[in-house]
Structure formats: structure tokens, C-alpha cells
């Protein structure tokens, strides 16, 4: 007998899933039978290929979209709803930061990071919520960062930490998560976040040393660690949880 996953035939939009963590989230959703739709500003061919190679009952498709463009987000979500019938799950994973100092952060850099990490999540949530509220069902998971809780995660030596725009954007994303959770819980829509610590992805491959040997769980996080936490928050298993931020950090920043 095959165990039900709770994701069979669910339509899940995942932003930023051309990247490392988003890819792991899409693979985890598709492995459980979901129909994942990727919104990214760059082609997600590697993710789509990985889902095909994985096999199983789920599927993935992709729409090119810059989430900081609200009109483009509205268009993309309307297209997805009309092609797939509905959107059950939204995971906001698009984003990223720069290690720029406070005084060195230009207006352009500030708005780029705020828009990709925070405004984009607002736009996608605003676009999918009417459908979720009408069906009285939906799960939204925002990928924030421990930087948004502790003011930037330091790495050793002269490598510094993620800059103020990133920390502010991720803190804002946590605030947005809680605001929406309070508003929409009574209408059947749950809104939660994860706050990853350092994850073994492209940024880290460039050589940052987070001193993870001193963490309670002394290793870097993996994209799969992040995906499993997202899966929990998107699944019926977390049906009585909303407005929470799960730190997926190996115990640092507790
Ligand atoms: N890697 C880490 O250590 C770490 C730690 C904490 C939080 N995070 C967060 O996890 C998420 C994924 O990070 P990752 O490590 O997989 O990075 P990544 O660079 O591999 O992936 C990020 C993806 O987001 C997309 N993206 C960025 N801005 C976009 C926009 N405006 N519109 C559409 N797509 C956009 C990029 O094209 C990319 O595919 C990010 O939000 C990041 O801030 C990462």
C-alpha cells in the first residue's frame, strides 16, 4: 500500500527555484506528487531536468518572471491558475543578498535587495491569496534567513556578513509572514517561514567560513535540510501551525 503524502496533485508555486534551495524544494514537492510551477527570472532548466530524472508522480514546469515586477507576477499567477486550475501552495524562495557595508549600500542596491527578497513575496502572496481565500485553503511558506533575526550571520576573518539591505528585507519578510498569518488563519490559509542558517550552495562555494564547527550541529546546512522544513510547513502535518518561523540553522542563533 502506498502512503498518502498530502501533496498528491497539489499545485505548488515555488519562486527562485532555478537556484539551489528552490530546486531542492521543487524536487521534494514533486517526489510527493505535487505539480510544481517555478517562477524565476532565469531559466530553470536544471531543476526541470532534475525533476524528470527523479521520476515519480509529480511534475514541474517553469515560468520566467522577475518577482520584483508586480504586473509580471500578477500575469504569471493568472496564467498558472488558468492552466492548473488553482494554486494550493506558495513558497517564496527567490532572493539573495550582497556583503556590502551600511554606508556603502547605494539606493539602487537597497531597493534591489528589498524588492527581490521582500516586495516580491508581497506581490506573489497578494496574487495567490484571492484564490486561496475563495477555496478556504492554502499554505504559504516564505524562505527568510537567520540574518533577518540576528542582524546578519557573521563569517570568520575579513569575510564580514550579509549586508543591511538583506537583513532588513528578511526581517521584513518575517513581519509580513506574521501579519498575513494573523489575517488569514480564520480563512483556512496558513503562512509560515523558515530562517536558514548557512547552506551549502553557490555563495558558500565561494569560500565563506561560518565557523560551523562551533555550531551545536557542527556542519553546514544543505538545500535538502531546508526543503524538508518547507515540506513540513506546507503539509497537513503542520495544520495547526501558522505565523511561525522555523530556524533551520544547526542550532546557531537559538
Ligand atoms: N544559501 C544560503 O546560505 C541561504 C541562507 C539563508 C537564506 N537563504 C535564502 O534562500 C533563498 C534561496 O537561496 P539560494 O542559496 O538557493 O540562492 P540561489 O542564488 O541559488 O537562488 C536564488 C534564486 O532566486 C532567483 N531570484 C533572485 N531574485 C529574483 C527575482 N527578483 N525574481 C525572480 N527570481 C529571482 C535567482 O535567479 C535564483 O535562481 C534566498 O531567498 C536566500 O536569501 C539562503
Region 162-175 average pLDDT: 97
Q: Report how far ligand 1's centroid is from the alpha carbon of 4 (Å).
A: 30
pTM for the model stands at 0.98
Residue 204 has pLDDT above 70, yes or no: no
Note the CATH architecture for domain 11-247: 3-Layer(aba) Sandwich (3.40)
The band of 160, judged by pLDDT with boundaries at 50, 70 and 90, is confident
d(CA 203, CA 254): 23
**Contact 32/6 with Cβ under 8 angstroms?**
yes
Which residue among the candidates 166, 208, 210, 215 is catalytic per the annotation?
166
Q: What are phi and psi for residue 63, nearest 5 degrees?
A: -125, 130
The band of 115, judged by pLDDT with boundaries at 50, 70 and 90, is very high
What number does the ligand 1 atom closest to the CA of 18 have? 39
Region 121-134 average pLDDT: 98
CA 9 to chain centre: 20
Region 51-79 average pLDDT: 97
What are the residue ranges spanned by the domains of the chain? 11-247
pLDDT at 203: 58
Question: Is 166 assigned a catalytic role?
Answer: yes
Q: Which of 20, 21, 68, 173 to mutate to test the pocket of ligand 1 (most atoms within 8 A of CB)?
A: 21
Amino acid at each position: 500500500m502506498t502512503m498518502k503524502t498530502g501533496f498528491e496533485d497539489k499545485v505548488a508555486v515555488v519562486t527562485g527555484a532555478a537556484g539551489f534551495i528552490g530546486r531542492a524544494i521543487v524536487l521534494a514537492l514533486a517526489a510527493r506528487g505535487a505539480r510544481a510551477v517555478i517562477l524565476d527570472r532565469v531559466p530553470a532548466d536544471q531543476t526541470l531536468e532534475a525533476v524528470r530524472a527523479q521520476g515519480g508522480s509529480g511534475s514541474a514546469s517553469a515560468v520566467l518572471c522577475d518577482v520584483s515586477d508586480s504586473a509580471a507576477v500578477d500575469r504569471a499567477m493568472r496564467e498558472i491558475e488558468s492552466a492548473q486550475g488553482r494554486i494550493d501552495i506558495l513558497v517564496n524562495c527567490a532572493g539573495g543578498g550582497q556583503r556590502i557595508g551600511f554606508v556603502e549600500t547605494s539606493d539602487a542596491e537597497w531597493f534591489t535587495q528589498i524588492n527581490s527578497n521582500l516586495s516580491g513575496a508581497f506581490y506573489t502572496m497578494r496574487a495567490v491569496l484571492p484564490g486561496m481565500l475563495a477555496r478556504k485553503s492554502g499554505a504559504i511558506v516564505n524562505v527568510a534567513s537567520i540574518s533577518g533575526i540576528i542582524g546578519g550571520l557573521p563569517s570568520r576573518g575579513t569575510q564580514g556578513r550579509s549586508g543591511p539591505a538583506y537583513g532588513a528585507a528578511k526581517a521584513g519578510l518575517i513581519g509580513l509572514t506574521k501579519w498575513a498569518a494573523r489575517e488569514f488563519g480564520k480563512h483556512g490559509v496558513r503562512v509560515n517561514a523558515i530562517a536558514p542558517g548557512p547552506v551549502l550552495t553557490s555563495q558558500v562555494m565561494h569560500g565563506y567560513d561560518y565557523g560551523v564547527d562551533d555550531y551545536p550541529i557542527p556542519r553546514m546546512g544543505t538545500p535538502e535540510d531546508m526543503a524538508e522544513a518547507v515540506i513540513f510547513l506546507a503539509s497537513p502535518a503542520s495544520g495547526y501551525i501558522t505565523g511561525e518561523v522555523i530556524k533551520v540553522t544547526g542550532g546557531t542563533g537559538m
